[in-house]
């Protein structure tokens, strides 16, 4: 991407800057003057339109390059990439309507063509105000020269011509090309720096005529590197020139207010949004100007009152609590999201996960690769979509997207938001967002390990997608787009197993990827979603999984071979069958007594490789996740009770008939009642691997009990921790937990 050189300039006033966004070119013209016959022009590589010699040389058109324009020299027109095809853009250029606006300090005027600031016309040399000043040109026009690739900008007697086809090969900002011209001037019009100007208001003070086009965001060279003709300037001219150099990206922008929606899920009332003005679109540096607004409704809507900004570029920062799509609840920790935007053509901009993820990438492209802000935003958005296997066709700018509304872009945003949230805490989500942004920043891609981590979280959500939709619909804030297919596609593409549909129902695929936490487990297509299952090689049975906090459990009661009925399995087992199926680690007394085992740490027992029989600490951690106050109640020396409402998320929606309530099965753990007491109580008991000193029932010396997890519900009783003394004979149920 290269910049076409300036080919000629007629002299009168001082044109100290030019930037023609409409023509895909940018430049800085500085150190201008009026009474020297040599013009120095630096040709540089700048972000802009790509050049191809002919149509056959056009690059690949894919989703990542959607919206890209390339100038084809042989056709004398540009082509745009859309829907994976190149389309010719109408080549007839319109006449551009240009005008001027007086600068705030009265030192000159800004040239504005079709709403774009393309340059500044100052009333003096070196960026200084002329002695009589305030009389710059006020009439400008821009047009294409017939039959050529030249664009001519004219302001009264001042003319600047751009060649849109003349793109030099790689050249540095230090390379100087020279040409000469005869200025249109007379002794009555232009005075040298050694004499005082006439009193006429039409005169313009000047001392040198050097123009320089620079690609970097640094200030132009100091006067020490200028031609000898400028040696008569006072020593202070260097600093004045630097401080007044024109930044082609900055357009002073009047902004009465900025409004939009802050969404992860929607940020809630009381959250705040700040707008920080940026100096320009090449450095994206913050000024001292910022404005704050407060979200005063639970849909995330904000409005910020603002004033004139130094440029059209701004940074929006939202911070606060938000509605979590996965849980449906409002978070108890706050989250911060960013959005970079160009406010010259908008007064509304949303802050969301997509604007946040593209922030570091856009900053890098603009400040390091010198990509235009608009192109950097487009490229970053396409790269993020590509990371999630989403076609960018028909997806608008990230600031225009919302998690509500029936559009492809909104569906993509909601899907990404759901996948990144997963079952993560706010701290874990913040860490993931930072890792994603850092990975994407320099090359526009994310690594396989990060993609796999997102997929590992996303696949656990597939059975919950109907519940997630119900959560978002329950907020009554707008139509919920069809996001589910995007989540399903990402899982299938990342794991390399393709689509799960009715056509391949019950298809099983072994996952072999060391970067996945599910490496060695099976993906099984059921009900048109892929499910992760663990396989027991002894019984050839597959088990669904439940994800509770950081724990992964089997979501079904574990089965063992029934030795009394060959070829069959049973779901209840003695404790030693569960923890020591080979019988070589434990001695278990017939009745009560001293249970002796030689294992330490986690106990695999009958569970498959990589899994173990849960200890009481495992069960307690599960309970603490759904009931953080459990430790205020827990006493290891006594039975303790937990309200039915706390256990409900672990219980199946079927089978429980207690008047205390019904199970909600929020985590897919699906605990079902297995026994009914004489008084009508319903209960089920699960083994742990933990042995404790006997408390109640056994009088034998050094007697031990095994701790059990009980789900026991009647009209009143709720017992959750039990002790089993009859370890030799009692048979209960088992769930396995992943190491």
Question: For 149-201, what is each residue's pLDDT tens digit?
Answer: 455 666 555 665 554 443 333 332 222 222 222 333 333 332 333 333 333 33
Contact indicator for 213, 20 with CB cutoff of 8 Å: no
Q: How far apart are CA 605 and CA 607, in angstroms?
A: 6
Asked whether 222 and 33 are in contact (CB, 8 A), the reply is no
| Beta-carbon contacts of residue 416 (< 8 Å; ≥ 6 apart) | 353, 354, 357, 384, 388
The larger pLDDT score, comparing residue 689 to residue 95, is at 689
Adjacency order of strands within the sheet including 313-320: 286-294, 272-278, 313-320, 335-342
Q: What is the pLDDT of residues 620-662, one digit of tens each?
A: 899 888 888 776 666 665 666 777 888 899 999 998 888 888 8
Least confident range of 93-107, 277-291, 479-493: 93-107
Q: State the average pLDDT for the chain.
A: 75
Pairwise pLDDT comparison (672 vs 136), residue with the higher score: 672
> Which residues lie closer than 8 Å to 434 by C-beta, 6 or more apart?
none
- The Cβ of residue 610 has, within 10 Å, a number of other Cβ atoms equal to 16
pLDDT band of residue 66 (cuts 50, 70, 90) is confident
Collapsing DSSP states into helix, strand and coil, what is residue 429? helix
Answer yes or no: are the C-beta atoms of 49 and 78 closer than 8 Å.
Answer: yes
Whole-angstrom distance, CA of residue 703 vs CA of residue 454: 48
**556: helix, coil or strand?**
coil
Tokens of residue 269, six digits: 């009332």
Rounded distance between C-alpha atoms, residue 564 and residue 582, angstroms: 16
Average pLDDT of 18-40?
32
CB atoms within 10 A of CB 202: 8
Residue of higher predicted confidence among 23 and 276:
276
Whole-number CA gyration radius for the chain: 36
CA 224 to chain centre: 46
CA diameter of the chain:
121
User: What does DSSP say about strands 675-676 and 611-612: parallel, antiparallel, or unpaired?
Assistant: unpaired
Instruction: For strands 158-163 and 176-180, give the pairing.
Output: unpaired
pLDDT mean over 538-563: 92
Q: Which of 30-34, 39-43, 392-396, 663-667 is least confident? A: 39-43
Is-contact 275 291, C-beta < 8 A? yes
Q: Which residue has the higher pLDDT, 241 or 341?
A: 341
Can you give the pLDDT at residue 273?
95
Does the structure show a pLDDT above 80 at 681?
yes
Distance CA 347, CA 103 (A): 23
Does residue 4 have a pLDDT over 90?
A: no
Nearest CA to 358 out of 322, 399, 392 is that of 399
Structure tokens at 672: 């079902």
- pLDDT tier for residue 708 given thresholds of 50, 70 and 90: confident
């Amino acid at each position: 991407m290269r910049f076409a050189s300036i080919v000629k300039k007629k002299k009168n006033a001082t044109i100290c800057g030019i930037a023609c966004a409409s023509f895909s070119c940018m430049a800085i013209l500085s150190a201008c003057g009026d009474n020297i016959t040599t013009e120095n022009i630096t040709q540089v590589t700048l972000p802009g339109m790509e050049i191809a010699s002919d149509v056959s040389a056009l690059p690949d058109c894919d989703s990542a390059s959607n919206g890209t324009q390339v100038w084809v020299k042989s056709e004398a027109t540009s082509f745009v990439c859309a829907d994976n095809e190149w389309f010719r853009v109408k080549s007839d250029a319109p006449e551009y309507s240009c005008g001027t606006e007086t600068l705030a300090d009265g030192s000159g005027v800004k040239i504005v063509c079709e709403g774009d600031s393309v340059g500044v016309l100052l009333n003096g040399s070196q960026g200084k105000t002329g002695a009589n000043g305030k009389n710059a040109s006020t009439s400008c026009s821009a047009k294409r020269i017939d039959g050529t690739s030249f664009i001519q900008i004219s302001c009264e007697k001042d003319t600047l011509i751009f060649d849109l086809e003349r793109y030099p090969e790689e050249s540095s900002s230090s390379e100087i090309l020279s040409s000469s011209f005869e200025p249109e001037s007379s002794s009555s019009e232009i005075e040298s720096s050694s004499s005082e100007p006439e009193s006429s208001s039409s005169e313009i003070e000047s001392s040198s005529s050097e123009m320089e086009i620079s690609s970097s965001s640094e200030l132009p060279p100091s006067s020490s590197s200028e031609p000898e003709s400028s040696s008569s300037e006072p020593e202070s001219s260097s600093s004045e020139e630097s401080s007044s150099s024109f930044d082609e990206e900055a357009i002073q922008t009047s902004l009465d207010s900025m409004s939009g929606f802050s969404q992860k899920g929607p940020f809630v009332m009381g959250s705040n949004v700040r707008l920080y003005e940026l100096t320009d679109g090449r450095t994206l540096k913050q000024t001292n100007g910022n404005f704050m607004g407060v979200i005063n409704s639970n849909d995330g809507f904000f409005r910020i009152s603002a004033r004139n900004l130094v440029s059209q570029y701004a940074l929006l920062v939202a911070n606060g609590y938000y509605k979590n799509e996965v849980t449906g609840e409002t978070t108890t920790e706050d989250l911060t999201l960013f959005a970079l935007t160009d406010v010259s053509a908008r007064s509304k901009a949303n802050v969301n996960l997509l604007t946040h993820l593209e922030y570091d990438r856009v900053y890098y492209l603009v400040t390091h690769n010198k990509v235009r802000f608009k192109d950097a935003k487009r490229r970053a958005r396409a790269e993020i979509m590509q990371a999630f296997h989403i076609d960018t066709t028909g997806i608008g700018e990230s600031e225009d997207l919302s998690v509500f509304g029936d559009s492809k872009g909104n569906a993509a945003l909601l899907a990404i938001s759901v996948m990144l949230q997963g079952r993560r805490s706010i701290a874990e989500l913040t860490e993931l967002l930072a890792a994603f942004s850092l990975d994407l920043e320099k090359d526009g891609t994310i690594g396989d390990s990060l993609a796999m981590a997102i997929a590992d979280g996303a696949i656990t959500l597939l059975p919950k997608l109907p519940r997630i939709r119900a959560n978002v619909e329950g907020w009554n804030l707008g139509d919920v787009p069809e996001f589910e297919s995007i989540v399903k596609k990402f899982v299938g593409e990342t794991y390399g197993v393709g689509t799960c549909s009715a056509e391949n129902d019950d298809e099983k695929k072994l996952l072999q990827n060391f970067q996945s936490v599910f490496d060695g487990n099976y993906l099984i297509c059921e009900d048109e979603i892929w499910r992760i299952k663990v396989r027991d090689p002894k019984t050839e049975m597959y088990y669904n999984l439940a994800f509770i906090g950081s724990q992964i459990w089997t979501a079904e009661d574990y089965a063992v071979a029934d030795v009394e009925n060959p070829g069959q399995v049973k779901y209840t087992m003695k404790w030693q069958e569960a923890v020591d199926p080979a019988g070589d680690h434990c001695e278990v007394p017939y009745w009560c007594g001293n249970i002796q085992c030689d294992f330490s740490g986690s106990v695999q027992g009958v569970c498959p490789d990589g899994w173990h029989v849960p200890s009481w600490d495992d069960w307690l951690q599960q309970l603490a996740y759904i009931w953080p106050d459990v430790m205020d109640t827990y006493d290891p020396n006594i039975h303790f009770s937990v309200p039915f409402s706390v256990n409900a998320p672990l219980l199946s929606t079927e089978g429980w008939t207690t008047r205390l309530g019904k199970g909600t099965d929020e985590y897919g753990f699906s605990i079902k009642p297995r026994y009914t007491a004489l008084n009508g109580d319903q209960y089920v008991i699960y083994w742990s691997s933990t042995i404790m000193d006997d408390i109640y029932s056994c009088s034998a010396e050094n007697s031990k009990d095994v701790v059990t997890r009980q789900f026991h519900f009647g009209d009143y009783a709720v017992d959750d921790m039990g002790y089993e003394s009859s370890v030799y004979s009692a048979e209960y149920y088992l769930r396995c937990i992943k190491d």
